[in-house]
């Protein structure tokens, strides 16, 4: 097989901004684009191959046809025909709802065998003063949680983090969180669209009606543990691979390149997803070359043996695979 690009799926959302289209070089009259689903196996939102002999094929069709050659043998044994990651860019003009996602066990029990949602954020851009919410600042009981949602004080016990480009947050299932206004995020997550909306500031949706909240469903999904630090700490470096997150669902690294960088893929038995955060260059995969630029996402099939990342002048990338 060969590297694949997909048509982005643009989502118009009440809190969406106007940065995604120009960031990705897309011309569109669509407004309030909150999310660009770069690579999705979510049913009803399956990504479609953009170009080449497989143009028009969905990611679900590709996984069904090529199986382990596309996603990795151990990945296919675990997740079957469903592509296991959902890759997004998110632009928040205003605050998203406060939310939480169930783990695999709870999602399977409540939602017909669905997967839970563990995810991570990489801050691509942030306006001055922009912040995120992630985790609790004090221990609360499920009963106190419900009372605080009812009286609008739930934000008083949520950890607020001012952010800048390059910040990383790992969000295991069960952690209360919210992306807030002014943040532009790259998100890697399990293939799941299950979100329990806890609190939405009384906001109306694009249809003019209050958006549904899931206070009771969320009560049993929340991890009420208080942690010392909710950020993912790492030391930035040029021209080397910096692993920032490793969990059962994905392993993600940052590559900030000014020089070519080669990587052996033969031992990982997994696809590799590459998101270009800035700059441009090319990917040389088993003798085949494909260009990549800011805002583009490329899928490298699992049967690839080696890759060389070649920046033009500079190129910052996120890479993700399943260990």
- Catalytic amino acids? 197
- 300 vs 122, 189, 238, 284, CA distance in Å? 21, 18, 23, 10
Count Cα neighbours of 99 within 13 Å in the Cβ-side half-sphere.
21
> For the CA atoms of 170, 174, 175, 176, what is the dihedral angle to 10 degrees?
140
- Backbone φ and ψ for 62, nearest 5 degrees, come out as -65, -45
**Terminal-residue alpha carbon distance, the chain:** 21
Q: How far apart, in whole angstroms, are the C-alpha atoms of residue 83 and residue 252? A: 17
CA 91 from chain centre, in angstroms, equals: 12
Tokens linked to 41:
């196996």
CA distance 303 to 69: 5
* 71 token code pair: 């996603």
């Amino acid at each position: 097989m060969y590297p694949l690009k997909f048509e982005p799926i643009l989502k118009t959302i009440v809190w969406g901004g106007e940065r995604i289209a120009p960031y990705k070089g897309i011309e569109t009259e669509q407004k309030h684009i909150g999310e660009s689903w770069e690579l999705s196996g979510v049913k009803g939102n399956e990504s479609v191959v953009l170009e080449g002999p497989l143009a028009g094929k969905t990611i679900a069709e590709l996984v069904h046809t090529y199986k382990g050659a596309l996603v990795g043998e151990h990945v296919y044994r675990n997740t079957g025909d469903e592509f296991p990651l959902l890759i997004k860019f998110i632009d928040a003009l205003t605050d998203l709802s406060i939310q939480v996602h169930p783990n695999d066990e709870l999602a399977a029990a409540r939602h017909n065998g669905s997967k839970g949602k563990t995810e991570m954020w990489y801050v691509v851009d942030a306006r001055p003063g922009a912040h995120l919410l992630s985790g609790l600042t004090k221990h609360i009981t499920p009963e106190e949680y419900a009372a605080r949602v009812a009286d609008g004080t739930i934000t008083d016990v949520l950890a607020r983090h001012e952010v800048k480009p390059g910040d990383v947050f790992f969000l295991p299932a069960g952690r209360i969180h919210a992306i807030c206004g002014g943040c532009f995020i790259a998100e890697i997550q399990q293939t799941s669209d299950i979100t329990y909306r806890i609190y939405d500031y009384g906001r109306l949706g694009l249809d003019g009606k209050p958006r549904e909240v899931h206070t009771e469903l969320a009560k049993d999904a929340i991890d009420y543990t208080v942690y010392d630090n909710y950020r993912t700490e790492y030391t930035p470096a040029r021209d080397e691979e910096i692993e920032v997150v490793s969990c059962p669902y994905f392993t993600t690294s940052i590559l900030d390149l000014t020089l070519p960088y080669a990587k052996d893929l033969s031992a990982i038995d997994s696809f590799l997803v590459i998101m270009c955060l800035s700059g441009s260059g090319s990917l040389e995969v088993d003798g085949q070359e494909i260009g990549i630029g800011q805002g583009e996402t490329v899928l490298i099939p699992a049967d690839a043996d080696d890759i060389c990342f070649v920046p033009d002048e500079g190129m910052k990338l996120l890479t993700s695979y399943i260990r």
